[in-house]
Amino acid sequence: FMKKLLFFQLLLIAILTQSCSFSPPLQQRTGWYKIGVPLNVVENTLVQCEYESAGPNNANKRADFVQNCMMRLGFRYGTYYIE
């Protein structure tokens, strides 16, 4: 009886630890981000910076303006992971 009980306890522990170790994979994204800021706020901020850059006609100047605007607001551009 004790061997069966020990076997079932070990089996239960193995099942529980296996199910706890599984976690959904993280999604990799590349773009503007700021830790603790939701994606919709990041997107709205980017749109605002793009709107403010409408003055310069040169595409390079506009891209620089958007980049400087986002960085000034504390955002970074790069690869990050979300759940």
- What mean pLDDT comes out for the span 42-62? 88
For residue 27, give the 3-state DSSP assignment: strand
CA distance 66 to 45: 10
**pLDDT, average across residues 52-69:** 87
Tell me which H or E stretch contains 76. strand 76-82
List 77's β-bridge partners, or say none. 32
Residue 66 has pLDDT above 90, yes or no: yes
Q: What is the pLDDT of residue 21?
A: 53
Give the pLDDT confidence of 5-50 residue by residue, as tens digits. Answer: 888 888 888 776 665 555 667 889 899 999 999 999 999 999 999 9
Q: How confident is the model at residue 75 (pLDDT cuts 50, 70, 90)?
A: very high
Q: Is the pTM of this model over 0.85?
A: no
Cα first-last separation, the chain:
45
Residue type present at position 17: T
